[in-house]
């Protein structure tokens, strides 16, 4: 069986970074990452290759490779082979987590196509995620000890975050628990893109640290905004069904704030949200109560705190077109909720 080239996803590389030369450099970098992804993930037996190429071909924003490429711009080796390889390692790791996450969530769709667990079955999806980690390990073995150690920590954080979510907050503060989970599940891999891009681009230690922290803050903002959209979006505008997290029994930040309210709304929500919501009427009622609660405004206030953290990291970087583009990216994630 032959495996045709992966088409660059329609969404990747189409972000206007505000500077024509920078747009061109990042687009070239993303094309090189795409080629490496396809070459690396085509290695191995045919019965594995079609499964691992499934989600790469389906698209995705390639946000993490873009972050790595932008971070590499702060050193003399911007967009070098090592940077491309590091960007591919981060995207492959992201992809592995998506395969595994979809099994845990019993998701039917991913990137607009059938999830691997739905198209094949859970065993296939888990093994596809595992072989992706083998590809990521092979690629990173050429990037030196510091990168391998960093990735061991990153894998550990991703799995810790997933396990923390699975076991739940127990007696701990549910908002602190939520914040730890999103830092570990979403923040660390975007932080990793910033760190590895800057490291392999040859940036200074100060800039590597700023780009790692910036990636983490952007990841946290991105996740809270997604969680706000899940509760409050107009389905005609967002194309998403509101309340998906509630149906799965996942109580995200706006819900957690609303549940703490000392009001009639808070009281009714505490009675309603004792587990996953299985019937449409209960979901409707919970969404109505959440709309009347302070959940949205409190979660947005948290978003702005993390945005301020992102801006603080941006201020540690030199004033140039790359820094302006990174500042815009952080702001862009928030504009989705106004």
Torsion of CA 16, 22, 23, 26, to 10 degrees: -120
Identify which range of 55-63, 75-83, 197-205, 283-291 contacts ligand GRG by CB under 6 A.
55-63
d(CA 35, CA 32): 5
Q: Are 283 and 296 in contact (CB under 8 A)?
A: no
Q: Is residue 63 within the footprint of ligand GRG (CB under 6 A)?
A: yes
Q: Rounded to whole angstroms, how far apart are CA atoms 192 and 139? A: 15
Nearer to ligand GRG, 10 or 262 (CB): 10
98 in contact with ligand GRG (CB under 6 A): yes
60 binds ligand GRG (CB under 6 A): yes
Q: Which of 79, 129 has the CB closer to ligand GRG? A: 129
- Residue 162 found at the interface with ligand GRG (CB under 6 A): yes
Q: Contact letters (x/-) for ligand GRG, 214-243, by CB under 6 A?
A: ---------x--------------------
Q: 32 or 158: whose CB is closer to ligand GRG?
A: 158
CB of 123 to ligand GRG, least distance (A): 15
CB 224 within 8 A of CB 182: yes
151 lies in the site for ligand GRG, by CB under 6 A:
no
CA–CA gap between residue 317 and residue 327 (Å, rounded): 10
Question: Of the listed pieces 156-164, 192-200, 278-286, 309-317, which binds ligand GRG according to CB under 6 A?
Answer: 156-164
Min dist. Cβ of residue 172 to ligand GRG (A): 20
Cα end-to-end span (Å), the chain: 48
Stretch that binds ligand GRG, among 58-66, 75-83, 139-147, 270-278 (CB under 6 A): 58-66
Tokens 């080796």 -> residue: 77
CA distances from 334 to 8, 126, 256, 281, 328 (A): 26, 33, 20, 30, 10
Q: Which is nearer to ligand GRG, 94 or 207 (CB)?
A: 94
Q: Single out the residue of 13, 29, 129, 215 in contact with ligand GRG (rule: CB under 6 A).
A: 129
Work out whether 100 is an interface residue with ligand GRG (CB under 6 A): yes
The alpha-helical segments, DSSP class H, found in the chain are 20-41, 46-58, 63-72, 81-105, 116-119, 122-141, 145-167, 174-182, 188-201, 205-232, 235-238, 244-247, 253-259, 264-272, 280-292, 295-314, 321-335
User: How many residues in the shown chain lie near ligand GRG by CB under 6 A?
Assistant: 18
The answer to whether 334 contacts ligand GRG (rule: CB under 6 A) is: no
Cβ pair 228, 299 in contact under 8 A: yes
Residue of 186, 252, 293, 323 interacting with ligand GRG (CB under 6 A): 186
By the criterion CB under 6 A, which residues form the site for ligand GRG?
Answer: 60-61, 63, 93, 96-98, 100-101, 111, 129, 155, 158-159, 162, 185-186, 223
């Amino acid at each position: 069986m032959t495996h045709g080239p992966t088409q660059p996803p329609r969404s990747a590389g189409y972000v206007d970074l505000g500077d024509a030369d920078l747009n061109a450099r990042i687009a070239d970098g993303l094309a090189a990452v795409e080629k490496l992804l396809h070459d690396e993930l085509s290695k191995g037996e045919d019965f594995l290759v079609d499964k691992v190429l499934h989600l790469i071909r389906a698209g995705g924003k390639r946000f993490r490779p873009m972050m790595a490429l932008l971070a590499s711009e702060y050193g003399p080796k911007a967009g070098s082979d090592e940077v491309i390889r590091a960007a591919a390692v981060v995207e492959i790791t992201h992809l592995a987590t998506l395969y595994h996450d979809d099994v845990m969530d019993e998701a039917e769709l991913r990137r607009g196509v059938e999830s691997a667990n739905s198209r094949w079955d859970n065993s296939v999806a888990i093994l596809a995620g595992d072989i992706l980690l083998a590809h990521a390990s092979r690629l990173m073995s050429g990037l030196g000890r510091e990168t391998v150690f960093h990735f061991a920590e990153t894998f550990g954080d991703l799995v810790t975050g997933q396990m923390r979510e699975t076991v739940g907050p127990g007696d701990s503060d549910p908002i602190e628990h939520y914040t730890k989970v999103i830092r570990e599940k979403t923040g660390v891999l975007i932080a990793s893109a910033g760190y590895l891009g800057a490291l392999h681009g040859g940036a200074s230690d100060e800039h590597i640290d700023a780009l790692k922290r910036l990636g983490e803050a952007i990841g946290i903002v991105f996740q809270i905004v997604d969680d706000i959209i899940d509760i409050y979006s107009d389905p005609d505008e967002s194309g998403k069904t509101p309340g998906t997290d509630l149906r799965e029994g996942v109580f995200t930040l706006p819900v957690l704030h609303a549940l703490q309210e000392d009001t009639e709304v808070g009281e009714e929500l505490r009675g309603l949200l004792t587990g996953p919501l299985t019937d449409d009427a209960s979901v409707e009622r919970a969404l109505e109560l959440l709309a009347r609660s302070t959940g949205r405004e409190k979660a947005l206030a948290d978003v702005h705190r993390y945005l301020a953290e992102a801006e603080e990291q941006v201020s540690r970087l030199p004033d140039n077109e790359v820094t302006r583009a990174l500042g815009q990216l952080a702001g862009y994630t928030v504009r989705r909720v106004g």
